[in-house]
Chains A and B, each alone.
Chain A
Amino acid sequence: MSDAVLEVDNLVMEFRSRRGTGVGRVQAVRGVSFTIGKGEILGLVGETGSGKTTVGKCVVRLLNPSAGTVRFDGQDITRVPRRSLRQLRARIQMVFQDPYSSLDPRMTVAQIVAEPLRAHAADSSQQTRARAAKAIERVGLPSAVLQRLPHELSGGQRQRVGLARALVLEPQLLIADEPVSALDVSVRAGILNLLADLQRSMGFSCLFITHDLSVAEFLCDRVAVMYLGEIVEVGICDELFTNPCHPYTQSLLAAAPVPDPVRQRRRTGVRLAGEPASNVAPPPGCSLHPRCPLADERCTAEAPTFTVVSSLGHVARCHRVEEEHSPRKPWGQAATSV
C-alpha cells in the first residue's frame, strides 16, 4: 500500500435535512473505500445522486466526512484542523464541471492562474508571472489569453484555464469533477486528450468523476462504479468494460447508446426498472434489489460484500457474482492487488 497517494476507507457522509422537517438524514455516501496509486487515474462513475461528487468533496475536505478516513500520501487528513488544510490544498487540486461559474468573471486569465501561486508559493511577482504563463502554454492556449477575461473565451478555452489553475502548483492529486460534461463533442475530445497528455508528462494521480462511461473508458486506468452511495464494482478499465459483473454496471453499459445504428439496434441487455431509491431510506439488503432483474430473497435481506472476480483487482458487490465466484475473499485483499 506504500505507493498509494490516496486511501479512502469506509467513508460516510450524511447530511441533515435542511429544516429538520422530519425527513431525516440523507446518506449521500455509505461506506466507500478505494485507493489511488501514484500516477493512476481512477474513474468514479455513477448517475445523479450516487454520491460521486460528495466523495470528491470529502477528499479535498470541502466537506467534513461523518465517518471513515481519508489518507493522503500516508497522512490521515480526515480530521486535520482547518488552518493546516491550506498546506494540503497546494497538493490536491480540483477542476470543476462548469467552466462558466468556476472562473471569477472579474479576473484576467493571468490573475486566475496566478492565484494559487500567490496563496501557496513564495515566488516573486516575476516568477509568478512566468509560472502562470508556462501553465497556460502547457494547456495549449496562446499567451495572448493571459490578458483576457473569462467571458471572452469559449467553453473549451475556459476549461483549459481551469486546468491550468489546478496544475500550476504541480499537485500530486487532481480531483476532476465532470470536467467535460458541459462541453460539445469536438471540444471535449481536445480536453480529454490534453488531460491524458498532462497526466503522462506531469505524473499526477487523478480522481476522475463522471457519469459518462465512454469518457471513463477512454481516460481512466481503473474504474469504480457507484450506486446509491456505495461502490458496487471496481476493476481495471480493460476488464470492467469487457466483463462487467455487477447487474448495475451491466445495465449502465447497456443503457448508454452507442454511436453506431447497426450495433445499437441489435443490442439487448439488462434494463433496470424504475428509478433509484431515496438515499434518505435506502432499501435493506442490496440497495439495487428493488430494480434488479436478478434479485431474489437473499438480496432483499442481506447486504452483499465484495467478491473478487479476477486477480487484477476486479471486485463486485453482488450475491449472484459471489455465487459464481466462491470461495470469497475479503475486500481488503482485493484493494492491494492493483
Chain B
Amino acid sequence: MQDLLEVENLQVRLFDRTGPVLAVRGVSLSVGRGEVVALVGESGCGKSVTALSLLRLLPASAQISGSIRLDGQDLLALNSQQLRTIRGGEIAMVFQEPMTSLNPAFSVGNQIAEVLRLHRGLRGGGVRARALELLRMVGIGAADKRLRSFPHELSGGMRQRVMIAMALAGEPNLLILDEPTTALDVTTQAQILDIVRDLRTRTGTAILLITHDLGVVADLADRVVVMYAGAKVEEADVYELFETPRHPYAAGLLRALPGSAAARQEAGPPRLAEIPGIVPTLRAPLASCAFAPRCQSATDQCRTQPPLLAPCGPGGDHEVACFHPESAATVSA
C-alpha cells in the first residue's frame, strides 16, 4: 500500500549572509498511516528544516528540490491557496515553543475555533462544542473556562496541550511534532507523551516526531530515521535501532548518554563515550562521508567517497550509510 507521506531525495538549500548552506542533502523517508516515525539528530542536522519544508514554511529564498507526496499529491507543486488547505487541514504541526506559536492577542477558544471554521467548516454552536471536546481530549480541566483564557494565563504544559488541541482540530492525516516537549519539565513531558500515545491509539493519526531526545524516541516511535549533517545516515525499527545501531554516529549517540548501559558497566570512575569534533556546516556537496572527521573507524575510502544508504541486517528494512558499519557484536560489547 502507498504510504501516507513519501519524501524522495529532498534537497534544501538555505542562504545566510555568507552564502548557501546545504541544510538537507537528499533525504528520503516515508510515514505510513497510523505510524509514528521519529526524525532524530543533534542541532543543525536538518531535521527541523526537513519538517518545515513539508509544509513549505521555509523562507522564500530557500531552494527545495526532490518530491514530497502526501496521499499521492505532490506538495511541492501546490500554489499558495492550495497549500493553505493542506496546512492545518491535512498536515498539522506542533512547535517546540508554545508561547511564541500561539497568538497572544486571541483567546484559546478563538484560536481553536479558527481552525474548526477554516478546515472543518463548522459554524455556530458546533464550533464551541467541538472546541470543548478537543480541550478535554488533551486533558485540560475546566475546559469551558479555559476557552476564554489567553496564552499568557497558561503554564508551558497547558499551552502545549492547547497547541496539540489546535493541531487536532483540523483532523489532520499527519501530525508533525517538532520537539514537542523540549521546553517542558520532565513531569509535564510525561503527561504530554501520555496524551500523544493516547491520541495515536484513539485517532490513528500518523505522526512525524522530530526530536533530539532518545528517551522520547524510545517511548513513542515505531521507526527511527537518524540524520547527520543534512543527510539520513540510518533508518530502522525502533527496537532494532536501540539494540543494534549500525552507523558509528548513531551508536556513539547512544553511548554518550549518561543513562546508557555503557556508561555504567565499566569499573573505576565512570566515563561517557565522547564524539570528538563538531558537526560540519555544509556549503558545497561533499565528496566524502560527512561523519568521517569525527569517526574512529574512518578509512581513506570514507574520506574520498560519500557512502550511500544500503540495507543491512536480515529484515531488509534496516538501512545505513556507512562503509564500515558497526556489527551487532561491537555495539553491545
Select which of A156, A192, A261, A275 is within 8 A of B218 by beta carbon: A261
Residue from B185, B253, B273 with most neighbouring chain A CB atoms (10 Å): B185
* Contact across chains for A186 and B214 when beta carbons are under 8 A apart: no
Q: Does A154 contact B (CB under 8 A)?
A: yes
Residues of chain B within 8 A of A271, CB atoms compared? 190-191, 194
A326–B188 Cα gap in the complex (Å)? 33
Q: Interface stretch among B58-66, B79-87, B254-262?
A: B254-262
Q: How far is the CA of A260 from the CA of B263 in the complex (A)?
A: 14
**Which of the residues A190, A254, A261, A272 comes within 8 Å of B238, measured between beta carbons?**
A261
- 8 Å CB contact of B272 from A192, A255, A260, A263: A192
| Binary per-residue interface labels of chain B (261-280) against chain A in the complex, 1 for a CB within 8 Å, 0 otherwise | 00100000111111110100
The answer on a CB contact under 8 Å between B257 and A259 is yes
Query: Which of A11-19, A54-62, A119-127, A210-218 forms part of the interface with chain B?
Result: A210-218
Q: Which of B186, B188, B263, B274 contacts A186 (CB 8 A)?
A: B274
Q: 1/0 per residue A271-295: CB within 8 Å of B?
A: 1100100000000000000000000
Tell yes or no: A336 within 8 A of B by CB. no
Q: Contact between A262 and B190 (Cβ–Cβ < 8 Å)?
A: no
| Contact residues in A for B276 (Cβ distance below 8 Å) | 190
A214, B190: Cβ atoms closer than 8 Å: no
Which has the most chain B C-beta neighbours within 10 Å: A188, A193, A214, A260?
A: A260
For chain A residues 210-254, which have a beta carbon within 8 Å of chain B?
A: 211-215, 217-219, 251-252, 254
Q: How far is the CB of B265 from chain A (nearest CB, A)?
A: 13
A239 to chain B, nearest CB (A): 16
Q: With A184-B42, A215-B258, A218-B272 given, is the CB distance from A264 to B215 under 8 Å?
A: yes
| A80 CB-CB contact with B under 8 Å | no
Could you say which residues of chain A place their CB within 8 Å of the CB of B263?
Answer: 218
Specify the chain A residue showing the minimal Cβ separation from B255: A189
B94 to chain A, nearest CB (A): 18
Q: Does B256 lie within 8 Å of A186, measured CB to CB?
A: yes
**Band of interface residues on B:** 35 or more
Once the chains bind, are A254 and B272 in contact (CB under 8 Å)? no
* Cβ A255 vs Cβ B187 within 8 A: yes
Query: When each residue 174-200 of chain B gets 1 if its CB lies under 8 Å from chain A and 0 otherwise, what string results?
Result: 000000000001111111011000000
Q: Which chain A positions have C-beta within 8 A of B273?
A: 189
What mask results when residues 41 to 72 of chain A are scored 1 for a CB within 8 Å of chain B, else 0?
Answer: 00000011000000000000000000000000
Most buried by A among B155, B190, B212, B276: B190
A106: Cβ under 8 A from any B Cβ: no
CB distance from A156 to the nearest CB of B (A): 7
5 contacts between A and B (CB under 8 A): A184-B42, A186-B253, A214-B258, A258-B218, A265-B219
Residues of chain B whose beta carbon lies under 8 Å from any beta carbon of chain A: 42-43, 155-158, 185-191, 193-194, 212-219, 221, 238-239, 242, 252-254, 256-260, 263, 269-276, 278
Extra 6 A-B pairs, beta carbons < 8 Å, given A211-B185, A217-B259: A186-B256, A189-B272, A189-B273, A193-B274, A196-B269, A257-B219
For the complex of A and B, 9 pairs with smallest distance between CB atoms: A257-B215, A255-B190, A186-B275, A189-B272, A189-B256, A218-B258, A214-B259, A47-B185, A259-B214
